[in-house]
């Protein structure tokens, strides 16, 4: 798989994701929407697993640790947070950029503390640029 293909998948998927979150009907409870979302996601993931691991899917489940379980819980928070934010009036053009910039700052610290990733002058300049961009974007 190429270096850029996963990035393209993330960008295209995140674009459609934001459109879908913004398009959840106003009168619909976000948790009802997420129930359908995760049923479809479970079926799609299961089908992809069967197609890519012909007959050895059970071996993959034997590798399970805490991360996929916590990820499932955290994804619900992520999804419902976006849906609630759009219902509260956030615009598609600003919400994702705002959360992305704030996330970059938080992950810079997490990377340094948990994974011993260096905090360089370039990264600090990037954080400053993110904060400056947020000021311009949200004024």
Helix (H), strand (E), coil (C) string for 4-68: CHHHHHHHHHHHHHHHHHHHCCCCCCHHHHHHHHHHHHHHHHHHHHHHHCCCCHHHHHCCCCHHH
* Range with the poorest average pLDDT among 20-29, 48-57, 64-73, 96-105: 48-57
State yes or no: pLDDT of 61 exceeds 90. no
Q: What is the per-residue pLDDT across 5-14, written as a single tens digit (0 to 9) for each?
A: 988 999 999 9
Q: What is the mean pLDDT of residues 84-108?
A: 91
pLDDT band at 56 (very low <50, low <70, confident <90, very high): confident
State yes or no: pLDDT of 32 exceeds 90. yes
């Amino acid at each position: 798989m190429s270096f850029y293909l996963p990035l393209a998948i993330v960008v295209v998927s995140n674009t459609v994701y934001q459109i879908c979150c913004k398009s959840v009907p106003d009168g619909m409870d976000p948790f009802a929407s997420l129930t359908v979302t995760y049923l479809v996601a479970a079926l799609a993931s299961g089908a992809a697993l069967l197609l890519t691991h012909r007959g050895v899917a059970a071996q993959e489940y034997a590798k399970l640790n805490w991360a996929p379980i916590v990820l499932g819980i955290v994804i619900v928070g992520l999804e419902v947070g976006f849906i609630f934010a759009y219902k509260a009036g956030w615009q598609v053009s600003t919400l994702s950029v705002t959360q992305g910039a704030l996330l970059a700052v938080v992950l810079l610290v997490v990377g340094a503390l948990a994974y011993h990733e260096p905090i360089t002058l370039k990264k600090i300049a990037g954080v400053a640029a993110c904060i400056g961009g947020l000021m311009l974007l949200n004024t």
